[in-house]
Amino acid sequence: MSVLDSIIEGVREDLAARRLPMSQLLEAIEVAPPVRDCLAALLTDNISVIAEVKRSSPSKGALAPITDPAGLAASYEEAGAAVISVLTEQRRFGGTLGDLDAVRKAVELPILRKDFMVDEYQFYEARAHGADVILLIVAALSKNQLDDYFHLSKELGMRALIEVHTPGELESALEISPEIIGVNSRNLKTLDVDAQAFAQLIPQIPSTIARVAESGISTRADVEFAQEHGATAILVGEALVRSGNSNVAMAQLLGRLGQ
């Protein structure tokens, strides 16, 4: 079993334990905050940042305790993030839907629910908790699921970040006419990181699509490498949560120190 398969197995078990009647979710969606659109912010000429609330990861283990996810998200907003990403997967990433709720109350920015979306229920759940964007990992889904979940996201008013790691996955992603594609330099099946994925895949994505470089970004040089190959945004978690000062860390990544 690959790392990705193991994570998805846990996600399904946890989902079964917390699943509520659909009627409750639909009622919650009725009173949820309006969707905040992120697309324009991820397609600017200047590279933008999706800043992540992330306690741990399968590859690195514990990163930061993050006792106040709302405060961290507010500091990201102050530092100039375009979108806040909130991990809600609990077993490997230490996240919860409670984190999403807290962050939603604290910031005005669009929020990405970062999880392994493998069941229709999770999309209604995301919107009920105030998410504006969801993640679709091509490696975790069949082509039919990818298409169905993409359209379900749109029906619920949310954008979808379509994540790819290989040329074949990018081909599948482009077939559904996405607005946002994330190229993950980390192979979720092995956890190996290869920044050449940015160089190989991002140039193949049409310029009308927001192009997000994900994983392995911790220095200004990493950001420049992604941007040189066409990235319009970066998704960063570890470098920010470990920094101790997200304002300074983000300024360093964006080359703003001393300006």
215 in catalytic set: yes
Catalytic residue among 77, 85, 114, 185: 114
Domain that holds residue 138: 3-253
* 246 part of a folded domain: yes
* 259 part of a folded domain: no
* 258 part of a folded domain: no
* 125 part of a folded domain: yes
Q: How far apart are the C-alpha atoms of 7 and 186, rounded to whole Å?
A: 15
Q: How far apart are the C-alpha atoms of 140 and 71, rounded to whole Å?
A: 32
Q: What is the pLDDT of residue 258?
A: 57
Q: How many CA atoms lie within 13 A of 136 on its CB side?
A: 34
- CATH code of the domain covering residue 9: 3.20.20.70
Please report, in tens digits, the pLDDT of each residue of the chain (259 residues total). Answer: 899 999 999 999 999 999 999 999 999 999 999 999 999 999 998 999 999 999 999 999 999 999 999 999 999 999 999 999 999 999 999 999 999 999 999 999 999 999 999 999 999 999 999 999 999 999 999 999 999 999 999 999 999 999 999 999 999 999 999 999 999 999 999 999 999 999 999 999 999 999 999 999 999 999 999 999 999 999 999 999 999 899 999 999 999 875 5
54 in catalytic set: yes
Q: What is the pLDDT of residue 257?
A: 75
105 in catalytic set: no
* 212 part of a folded domain: yes
77 in catalytic set: no
Task: Report if pTM > 0.95.
Answer: yes
Q: What is the pLDDT of residue 45?
A: 87
Q: What is the pLDDT of residue 4?
A: 96
Q: Which amino acid is at 106?
A: A
Q: What is the pLDDT of residue 95?
A: 97
243 in catalytic set: no
Catalytic residue among 48, 52, 153, 185: 52
Pairing status of strand 61-62 against strand 56-57: antiparallel
Residues ≥6 apart with Cβ < 8 Å to 163:
135, 136, 137, 138, 139, 181, 182, 183, 184, 214
Catalytic residue among 48, 54, 85, 169: 54
* 123 part of a folded domain: yes
Catalytic residue among 75, 153, 187, 215: 215
The whole-angstrom distance between residue 203's C-alpha and the CA centroid of its chain comes to: 20
Quote the number of domains for the chain.
1
189 in catalytic set: no
Catalytic residue among 48, 184, 185, 187: 184
Q: What is the pLDDT of residue 244?
A: 87
Catalytic residue among 89, 125, 169, 214: 214
184 in catalytic set: yes
